[in-house]
Amino acid sequence: MQGLNVTEKGIGYLWACLTAYTGACAYLMLYVAALVYICVFGSRREKEIFIPCSVFLILTVYNPIAPVILNRFFDVNSEYYRFFWITPVIVLVPYLFTRLIFTARDSKAKSVVTVLILCICLVSGNFVYRNGIQLATNIYKMPDELMQISAIIHEDSEAEYPKAFLEYEYNMQMRQYDPKMQLTVDREDYLNAVSTPYTEEMLEDETHPQYRLLAFLVRLQPIDREAFLDALESSKTDYVVINKSNPRNTFLLSAGLKKIAETEHHNVFRYEVKEPYDFELVDYTVVY
Amino acid sequence: MTYIVMIALGVLVNFIIYLSFGSLITMGIGKKHRGSSCPILLSAVIGFFLYYCVFFAVCLPPMKYYRPLSMLTKIWVPTVLVVVAASLLLNGKAWIKGFGKWVDRIRNKPALVLLIIIPVIIQVVLVSCTYNFTLDAAYYVANVATSVETDMMNVYDPFTGAWQDHYEMRYFFATYQIQDAVVCQLTGIPALIWTKSVMAVTVIILTNIVYYMIAGEMFMHVPFISGPGDEEAETKSGYSHVGYVRNNEFAIPVMMIFMLVVNLTFITIYTSSLFLLTRTYEGKAIVGNLAIITVFYLFIRMNDESIQERAWLITFIVCFGAATISSSANMLLPVELTVLFIPIIIRKKSFSMLPKYIACVIPGVVFSLIFVLYVKGYFVWYTFPK
């Protein structure tokens, strides 16, 4: 879970984690209310199914000490929330709703209960498509522009596996669509780049030239021209694709990169690597 | 249109394979007991997990010794064909009978069947037609695409395409994506279409099958005031279910609709409902929804003692299969097994269940320990002989 740390929060981690997990949704509260209902009005079988496991969940998953102990053996900082998935909300809450409707005495009572339950659902949740349903525009479920960029680069490049620097979203998507495209920046570097500025020490790190590219093109930190070109050279980056609104477009042209094409929102630049390195797949036939 | 046919065909073939695998385990189950759920449905769900258990066993040696993906494909395809043929011979008649019952049900209760199917179709359309940007697809889908492109398994970094000198153990035992790669290599279907459409639809249908089975189980036992003598029967035994579903089977689709409502509205970036609807093809979405809910279904059946034959074997298959789908299962399922089954063992004083429970916990715990050893630097598995 982003931003939460067991060591820092201690036994307060669980509550913070739970708060982030539920957000504005009241379903865990509905689950607790349903448990109380089952305790009071439920049959023996219903109690056997839902009560003991909930008690054990309180003793284990919802025990504030549990993440602290677990964290000594495994790093659970980012994944502890997944234990909440075990809580059978998806069974108990719909079951009780249905049970209440079907056990209502007559059709009038059933209608009233149904309307009440629907109102509860409306105020308890957060609709997954609240911002509208974004339909995929193609069978690959990828942005059309990304597919165009892939085609442009392969048409332009003589290498089978050209290497490209892409902006955040396309960097995460490109290799799902086009595994022949090598990427300069991996996911973790990008995630770090969007959250933290680069220090001088990082920018001088010769083993990670991509830091300079990210600092200059994504974080818009000042880098001198030579350092930027050196980063492209040492990372063997053949192509740079950035949004037309990125203020670095004019710099790329002035630094000697060639704009080979543009799409609706992106410019595609080529950098002539001085000492080209053609990526090849490792030959495993010597092993077999 | 061609793509829709391709996706439908892919899903259909998946279910034939899962049914074949699962029927080898479930055949004969339920002959002495009431048939609260069609064995065909249970077989398909169990078959899904068994399929990935067997795939794991076949995949691991070639992957560990950096053999090509195409070699695995050549081993795996005959394996599946043999299992399907054997299952057809052994279970063909049972399938025809099972499907016959379903056809009768559709003829007799079309409204009921329609009410069950419509929410499922809504979910299928939503997951197969919507666009979602998720960071983790950069690993999961790209790993499938990379494996097909390079004809290797987990050897190249899915994020950048660079060669890796050692296996990343976090993902090593989760061979689910490698299976996707095998199918993509065999059929030529692009990784994105297979994972985000075919597998997403498959997982949605499987999850809803389990929802259906759970709703069926829950309402087998509910005393309805409208039913004659129900309250009395409930007071007497707490387990009586005479005629309840017969009179109230519409409770099943209603509960399924509420399950859909919860999945559509219990949404933060962390909930399993979000994973189900927007990241359906990821291993952890399958664990967080299908595997966890299947174990809960088995727990209900074992609590009611309505399934006795091979109940723990089935639970083991689900747990082991889930561990080969995503490493998230390694901790989640042992904890779920503990919170569900330890109370049963204590209440029923059935301590003979204890070793079976431990056996189900073992795969996840072992995979977790191996990962810890790797993280602590005790071993590394290289992708090339050293």
pTM recorded for the entire structure: 0.93
CA atoms of B158 and B50, how far apart (whole Å): 27
Q: Is the dihedral of CA B234, B238, B241, B242 positive or negative?
A: negative
The DSSP symbol for B294 reads H
Confidence band, pLDDT 50/70/90 cuts, at residue A74: confident
Nearest residue to A1 via CA among A28, A15, A20: A20
Residue of B nearest to A107 (CA): B226
CA atoms of B18 and B14, how far apart (whole Å): 6
A239-270 per-position pLDDT tens digit: 999 999 999 999 999 999 999 999 999 999 99
A-contacting residues in B 279-308 (Cβ below 8 Å): 284, 288-289, 292-293, 296, 299-300, 303-304
What pLDDT does B224 receive? 45
> Is the Cβ of B184 closer than 8 Å to some Cβ of chain A?
no
**Which of helix, strand or coil describes residue A184?**
coil
What pLDDT does B252 receive? 93
Closest approach of chain A CAs to the CA of B20, in angstroms?
A: 28
What pLDDT does B359 receive? 96
Nearest residue to B10 via CA among B152, B285, B205: B205
Are B277 and A128 in contact (CB < 8 Å)?
yes
Mean of pLDDT over chain A: 93
Strand partners, A164: A183, A239
What pLDDT does B221 receive? 58
Q: Please say whether the beta carbons of A163 and A238 come within 8 A.
A: yes
Nearest residue to A87 via CA among A68, A61, A64: A61
DSSP string, B313-328: HHHHHHHHHHHHH-TT
Q: Which positions in chain B touch A108 (Cβ < 8 Å)? A: none
What pLDDT does B307 receive? 75
What pLDDT does A258 receive? 96
What pLDDT does B222 receive? 54
What pLDDT does B3 receive? 84
> Is the Cβ of B384 closer than 8 Å to some Cβ of chain A?
yes
User: Buried (b) or exposed (e) across A63-87, using 16+ Cβ within 10 A?
Assistant: eeebbbebbeeeebbebbbbbbbbb
Question: Per-residue pLDDT averaged across A105-120, rounded?
Answer: 92
* Number of helical H runs and strand E runs in chain B: 18, 0
Q: Please say whether the beta carbons of A94 and B259 come within 8 A.
A: yes
Give the 3-state DSSP-derived string for B23-36, with helices as H, strands as E and coil as C.
Answer: HHHHCCCCCCCCCC
What pLDDT does B36 receive? 41
Domain segments of chain A as ranges = 6-89, 144-270
Q: Which positions in chain B touch A157 (Cβ < 8 Å)? A: none
Closest approach of chain B CAs to the CA of A253, in angstroms?
A: 26
Nearest residue to B68 via CA among B158, B142, B150, B145: B150
A-contacting residues in B 148-167 (Cβ below 8 Å): 148-150, 152, 155-163
Q: Is the dihedral of CA A9, A10, A13, A16 positive or negative?
A: negative
Contacts of B61 (CB under 8 A, 6+ apart): none
What pLDDT does B239 receive? 40
State which H helix or E strand residue A267 sits in. Answer: strand A266-270
Q: Which positions in chain B touch A23 (Cβ < 8 Å)? A: 267-268
A214-233 per-position pLDDT tens digit: 999 999 999 999 999 999 99
What pLDDT does B32 receive? 52
Edge-to-edge strands, sheet with A239-243: A182-183, A163-166, A239-243, A266-270, A258-262
Please identify every stretch of chain B with a pLDDT value under 70, giving residue numbers as ranges: 30-38, 221-247
Cα torsion through A279, A284, A285, A287, rounded to 10? 150
